[in-house]
Amino acid sequence: MTACRSGESRGATWDEIDLSGKAWNLPAERMKAGRPHRVPLADRVVKLLGSLHRIEGETLVFPGAKENTPLSDMSLTMLLRRHAPGVTAHGFRSSFRDWAAETTSYPGEVCEMALAHAVGDAVEAAYRRGDLFAKRAALMQDWATYATRPHEAGGTVTPLRGTA
């Protein structure tokens, strides 16, 4: 529900998460483009993160089997292989972008910024000071609503539970 890359999500730390401000602040060193990225958190994400059991002394939101090591990429891959053959982690980002372009009226630059993609050419980038956070927050709220709409209620999302 954040449209972030799997590595960014798996490496999330609690000190990056601001539940009261409904934001996830990723530092430049954890981003593919080497620039910090602020991710608006939809209400559903805030609720989900707030409900997670926190392990004392653990800084990672999604810890792996080894202490202070994030959940492995293979863990996510195997989950998808078992419950949704043919689905890839990157497919979630692609699905987000397709949904935003085909079913919403959000401007392309808002959608691209949500994916932490560079927007515009070098001249435009030199003049762009904001990160369109409020517009991205509305976009991510709409995405979370869409992505969590139960399949049984006429939605197009099938749960990854093996009972679908």
The CATH number of the domain holding residue 46 is 1.10.443
- 135 part of a folded domain: yes
**Tokens standing for residue 24:** 């996830």
Strand partners, 70: 63
- 163 part of a folded domain: no
Task: Please write the tens of the pLDDT for every residue from 44-98.
Answer: 999 999 999 998 889 999 999 888 899 998 988 898 889 888 888 878 899 999 9
Segments forming the whole domain that contains residue 69: 6-153
Residue 40 φ/ψ, nearest 5 degrees:
-70, 135
Per-residue pLDDT at 108 exceeds 60: yes
pLDDT interval class at 164 (50, 70, 90): very low
- 127 part of a folded domain: yes
**Cβ partners under 8 Å of residue 28, min gap 6:** 34, 35, 36
Active site residues: 5, 32, 90, 93, 117, 127
- 159 part of a folded domain: no
Query: What per-residue confidence (pLDDT) applies to 124?
Result: 66
Task: Please write the tens of the pLDDT for every residue from 13-55.
Answer: 999 999 999 999 999 999 998 999 999 999 999 999 999 999 8
- 162 part of a folded domain: no
- 13 part of a folded domain: yes
- 99 part of a folded domain: yes
Question: Could you say which DSSP state residue 153 is in?
Answer: G
Strand partners, 18: 23
Domain count, the chain: 1
Return the half-sphere exposure (C-beta side, CA atoms, 13 A cut-off) of residue 86. 0
- 51 part of a folded domain: yes
Per-residue pLDDT at 138 exceeds 70: yes
Going along 1-125, which residue ranges are E strands? 17-18, 23-26, 37-40
Render the burial of 86-98: b for 16+ CB within 10 Å, e for the rest. Answer: eeebeebbebbbe
**Tokens standing for residue 14:** 């609690």
